[in-house]
Structure 1
Amino acid sequence: MIRFLLLLLVMAVPAAGETARVFSGEHEDFTRLVVELPQADGWTVGRTPMGYAFATNAASPPGFDLSRVWDRIPRTRLQALRADPETGVLQLTLACPCHVFPFEYRPGMVVLDIKDGPPPPGSSFEMAFSGFVDPGLLAAAETAPLPPNRAQSPADALPATYDWLARPGAETMTRAREAAALPMLRGAVSLQPLRDELLEQISRGATIGVVDMALPGPAPDAPENTAEILPWTQIRIGEMPGMIVGENRPPEGMTAEGGSCIPDATLNLADWGLDRPAIDLLSEARSGLYGEFDRVEADAVLQSVRLHLYLGFGAE
């Protein structure tokens, strides 16, 4: 009997390790949920008809321990919280016009803040949650009658193909198009016949007084080259105007306004990701953004921007 109890205890240890604990806390302008995952996996948040949904990217979704959620928060913002045992999706039903702002506090710990008011413009967490199916819509679709199969009636069946050559007059139009084809010119093209024709027409016009012929006037007098403008008169000893010869040159890499250019190493986006997997970069970009007392960490935000730029520029 003791060996049987020990066996049950050993079998229960992995199941307990695959459970994600959910904690809660109430603040003045938001309600906070903290999901402590059994391991640092990727996660996603999206919109559902009832509110929002949260899920991990683990191969086997963990279970959620919701026993302590309602000990510290009312149901003013979060009306219901349900974990789907089949899909492993945590469904949040909201009770107010709120939005969820998630972030990863550290690897394996995801914070879901339910804040009052509309979401920020362009929030990626407002997209429809992938793979979510409303149970009510699914039940209605299963009980709805199927539309009648009109293809079973020979009178309503449509032809499989359409032959446009079988139209009346199509053959006549094809022959007319072939007869109207013009021969292609081959060989060199000379403009001499056109020039002769133009000269003949202009001569006739001048004979009957329609065209006035004007002879070209004398060429303008060219100035004589003097000693003052000859090329060798510009030889000087020293610097030419607008040229600087010497070691005191301006530094290289200057902008049009005279400022220093940004070093190439500062904008070397290709080295920001260090060829790491995209899921690891996203996890790092979303972690550590807030410090103590919910203050924004400037260095973490800068690193998050760099990682998102590294991931986005490759796709674009």
Structure 2
Amino acid sequence: MFKKLALNLLATLLVLNSALIAQYSVSTFAGSDSGFVNGSLTQSKFSSAFGICIDKNGNLYISDSGNNCIRKIDTQGIVSTFAGTGEVGNKNGDRLTSTFNSPTGICTDDNGNFYIADFMNHTIRKIDSEGIVTTIAGSGEPGFADGYGEEAQFNFPRGISIDAFGNLFVGDSWNHRIRKITPDGNVTTYAGGGNEIGPDSKGSYVDGPSSQARFFTPCGVACDVYGNVYVADALNHKIRKIDNYGNVTTVAGTSDPGWNNGGFSDGDYKSAMLNTPTELCISFDEEIFFSDTFGNRVRKINIDGTVTTIAGDGTPGFSDGDGVLSKFNYPRGIVLDNA
């Protein structure tokens, strides 16, 4: 039995294969140099690919941020444009004529709907199972406000995940908060706070009850089957957990907050150092896989709390092969399939 992890780099989709003894190998799954080309896996090109998700049929969907669209890789290995024209915009309607502005996070539900964090539009978009794109939250202007639908405001929403009840959780990066969107469109602040917002602001680091907790540019979010929400708290260089009672704790990472303060060390979660983790996913047995983006590595938090590196030697570059000997260039989106 093998596990496969799919990872987005700036222009290339990589796959990690793992036997149960947890030895990983890296291979290029799709893409080459930067561009916008559909077709076969080897012919295809992406530009600043960020979020990635997988549907129940095994198709992959990628937020191709630099191309302002959503791409699809079907189970036959054909790459196509699923939504967006490639032009910058915020047009709703048919998925093939809709427009986006640097989409980042993406997730899907069991009904064939997709949800996108439209980063530069400061909105959350939906592509329903009929292929219609709508804006479900966000006014389109950067800011901070809770409320229903377009009454709400986001500040560069980055990651997005959905729970078993249809609630969406968003890493509202430059509001330094985790936001929740209920199925009826009500946007609330799920965790985090503070007075500073915007790209020039500085978050902080505090564990505790959700209203008192503090984040610093939270990016990727992932929900587990128990109702916990995990956060890649990028500029705190930590992985955080919000349990279903609203308590925020640190799962891994000891580096000081701020730019250029990340580090690298594996080991116990209390001493491990991370370097700007941005995206994460969770296995059924509660292992956490994350892209340690500025560390140019893919790492794992085991169920015993130890942090290990499964791929990447830490130097930016591009090479396939044995996991820890391979090279990545600021890896971001990550997803785990069931193979």
**TM-score, normalised by the number of residues in structure 1:** 0.22
Larger radius of gyration: 1
Between Structure 1 and Structure 2, the one with more strand by share is 2
TM-score normalised by length of structure 2: 0.21
